């Protein structure tokens, strides 16, 4: 697999259009299973997880067509079946096929879902919610078998807020008999996008965006067109790239209203931010101030998906900062790699202490999961010398082409074809070729 090579210390300048949201596109693609007709989704990001989701749709009998960033799904011929492990194990979001398949064909079997290695990530909340609809679930060594029979609407109180479990439950509730009410439902913008799509297809849903969602089931769904909203995590990643490298960038089609917790921290660190008709302008010309103590939280708090990229920026600040991870265990795996670049981060329990005032230096580093990989790219933008990042396939799960995007903004990006190089070898300019 190719590596990304970044020759750091070049400030970023220019403008870029933000891709469609991964975390909105995935449940909406799963939701097309509920529509006995044609769904047309515009602005779908061309990323690995979306491709896997399309493959899963095909395995249950959907016809899927890509044209530029538009995906057309004809789900008229959905059939029961087992979701193949080759896709399910690669992507955690495949679990939300459960609710959609139970709603449409009444049964499904799937392997235990995989995805990014960021802690245990159980699916107990998904299964308990399905059981409240009257679904019978059986867990075997290989996976889960679920049979719906006649699903009845339910009053479901989630013990904690879960994005995936909320989405799965909404999908199942659309065809359940009667009314379903979800309490302590997730409030992330991606839930609202899913509900907006379902409403356009004929579902009756109210309250999304609050912790209490009401779904009146058994409405007949019909085909529709929907545009996937822009990706708030990609927007945040690119802003953090500008914070690390310095310069001035403009992100078009950026969901500014979904990023207030992030903007708050960026301003504290010295960013100048201007928001104007769907564009976010970010300028960072002075030294970075401390980010203070940040805690990841459910929306609208600081997003866990921007925790690792922020660690890279914190390392460059004049003074120390800290980051407490409250959503996922084991989401500090990237710290070891950032420390190889000189970050000096120290972890105690759920908190990473970042000393700041660091001069990062290039190194050969490895991405092991999506957002940690993005953090390495951001560190590379600011590091002295060349940073070679392997494990690019993890980054491609969520970013259409992060290297090319930063190159558009002026970063010096090189590509290194797989050479089976010893990862301890120093990186030299001769190792890569320019991506032009």
The catalytic residue positions are 116
**What Cα–Cα distance (Å) separates residue 172 from each residue in 11, 41, 64, 425?**
48, 21, 22, 52
Site for ligand UD1 in 312-351 (CB under 6 A): 327-328
Pick from 164, 241, 380, 385 the residue near ligand UD1 by CB under 6 A: 164
Specify the DSSP class assigned to residue 180.
E
Residue 126 interacts with ligand UD1 (CB under 6 A): yes or no: yes
Site for ligand UD1 in 53-92 (CB under 6 A): 92
Give the whole-angstrom CA distance, residue 378 versus residue 334: 12
Percentage helix, strand, coil for the chain under 3-state DSSP, each rounded to 5: 35, 25, 40
Closest to 271 measured CA to CA, from 287, 258, 253: 287
From the CB of 335, what's the least distance to ligand UD1, in Å? 17
Pick from 6, 125, 261, 352 the residue near ligand UD1 by CB under 6 A: 125
What six digits make up the tokens of 415? 């590509």
From the CB of 298, what's the least distance to ligand UD1, in Å? 7
Biggest alpha carbon distance in the chain? Answer: 66
Site for ligand UD1 in 23-42 (CB under 6 A): 23, 26
Q: Which stretch binds ligand UD1 (CB under 6 A): 138-146, 158-166, 170-178, 194-202?
A: 158-166
Q: Given CA atoms 206, 193, 283, 288 in this order, what sign does their dihedral have?
A: positive
Residue 1 interacts with ligand UD1 (CB under 6 A): yes or no: no
Residues near ligand UD1 (CB under 6 A), total: 21
Which residue lies nearer to ligand UD1 by CB, 92 or 358? 92
Instruction: Compute the CA torsion angle 96, 98, 102, 106 (nearest 10 deg).
Output: 160
Q: Given CA atoms 374, 379, 384, 390 in this order, what sign does their dihedral have?
A: negative
Which residue lies nearer to ligand UD1 by CB, 121 or 350? 121
Residue 121 interacts with ligand UD1 (CB under 6 A): yes or no: yes
Give the whole-angstrom CA distance, residue 415 versus residue 102: 44
Pick from 304, 366, 387, 390 the residue near ligand UD1 by CB under 6 A: 304
Residue 122 interacts with ligand UD1 (CB under 6 A): yes or no: yes
Give the whole-angstrom CA distance, residue 228 versus residue 193: 8
| In the complex, residue closest to ligand UD1 by CB | 164
Query: Applying CB under 6 A, which residues contact ligand UD1?
Result: 23, 26, 92-93, 121-126, 160, 162-165, 186, 190, 304-305, 327-328
């Amino acid at each position: 697999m190719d590596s990304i090579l970044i020759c750091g210390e070049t400030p970023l300048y220019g403008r870029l259009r933000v891709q469609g949201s991964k975390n909105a596109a995935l449940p909406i693609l799963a939701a097309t299973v509920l529509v006995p007709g044609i769904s047309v989704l515009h602005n779908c990001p061309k990323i690995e997880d979306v491709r896997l989701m399309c493959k899963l749709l095909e395995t249950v009998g959907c016809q899927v067509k890509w044209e530029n960033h538009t995906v057309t799904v004809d789900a008229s011929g959905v059939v029961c079946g087992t979701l193949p492990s080759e896709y399910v194990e690669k992507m955690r979001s495949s679990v939300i096929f459960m609710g959609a398949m139970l709603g449409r064909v009444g049964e499904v079997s799937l392997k235990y879902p995989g995805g990014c290695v960021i802690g245990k990530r159980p699916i107990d909340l998904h299964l308990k919610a399905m059981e409240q609809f009257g679904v019978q679930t059986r867990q075997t060594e290989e996976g889960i078998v679920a049979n719906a029979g006649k699903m009845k609407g339910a009053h479901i109180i989630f013990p904690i807020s879960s994005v995936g479990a909320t989405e799965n439950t909404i999908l199942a509730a659309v065809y359940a008999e009667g009314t379903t009410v979800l309490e302590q439902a997730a409030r992330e913008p991606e839930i609202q996008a899913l509900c907006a799509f379902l409403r356009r297809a004929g579902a009756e849903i109210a309250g999304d965006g609050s912790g209490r969602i009401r779904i009146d089931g058994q409405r007949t769904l019909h085909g529709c067109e929907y545009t996937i909203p822009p990706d708030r995590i990609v927007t945040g990643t690119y802003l953090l790239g500008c914070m690390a490298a310095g310069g001035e960038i403009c992100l078009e089609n950026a969901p500014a209203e979904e990023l207030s917790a992030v903007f708050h921290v960026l301003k504290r660190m010295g960013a100048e931010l201007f928001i104007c008709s769907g564009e976010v302008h970010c300028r960072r010309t002075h030294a970075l101030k401390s980010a203070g103590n940040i805690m990841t939280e459910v929306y609208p708090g600081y997003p866990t998906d921007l925790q690792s990229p922020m660690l890279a920026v914190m390392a460059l600040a004049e003074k120390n900062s800290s980051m407490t991870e409250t959503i996922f265990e084991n989401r500090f795996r990237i710290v070891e790699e950032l420390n190889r670049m000189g970050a000096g981060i120290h972890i105690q329990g759920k908190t990473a202490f970042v000393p700041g005032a660091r001069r990062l230096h290039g190194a050969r580093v490895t991405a092991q999961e999506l957002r940690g990989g993005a953090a390495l790219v951001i560190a590379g933008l600011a590091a002295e010398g060349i940073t070679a990042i392997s494990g690019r396939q993890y980054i491609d799960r969520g970013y259409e082409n992060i290297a090319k995007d930063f190159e558009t903004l002026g970063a010096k990006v090189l590509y290194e074809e797989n050479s089976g190089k010893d990862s301890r070898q120093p990186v030299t300019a001769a190792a890569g070729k320019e991506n032009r």
